[in-house]
Amino acid sequence: MSSTVELTKENFDQTVTENEFVLIDFWASWCGPCRSFAPVYEKAAQENPDLVFGKVDTEAQPELAQAFGIQSIPTLMIVRDQVAVFAQPGALPEAALTDVIGQARKLDMDEVRKNIAEQEGGPQGE
């Protein structure tokens, strides 16, 4: 049984809204690096059952790929509290994926939101 969730334009918003921590693998069946990354991603999903691991088939869901500006696949994205905190094209080796997940887990999301507000010219200070 797969530990990953197939994300579509119908369930994407709900999945990202209802879950604090979502990893998203943008992929396609014709993509060699995507196929080699799939077992690494699946293993990480099994090792992190508290997180949601989603997959977006860019062939079947071109609107989602376009909405996120996906230019090359595979692209891994991590969304925490509905904020994209990581996005990188390329198949990550297992150790790198584990490291990225660990770093994303440690993020102070209040600090992240504050930084985003500052970058967008929002309210400054506390």
Please tell me the distance from the alpha carbon of residue 112 to that of residue 95, in angstroms, as a whole number. 25
Catalytic annotation, residues = 31, 34
Buried b (16+ CB within 10 A) or exposed e, 37-59: bbebbbebbeebeebbbbbbbbe
The pLDDT tens digits along the chain (126 residues) read: 568 999 999 999 999 999 999 999 999 999 999 999 999 999 999 999 999 999 999 999 999 999 999 999 999 999 999 999 999 999 999 999 999 999 999 999 999 999 988 988 755 544
pLDDT of residue 119: 87
Q: Which pTM value belongs to this model?
A: 0.90
The two three-digit tokens of residue 80, written as one number = 């925490």
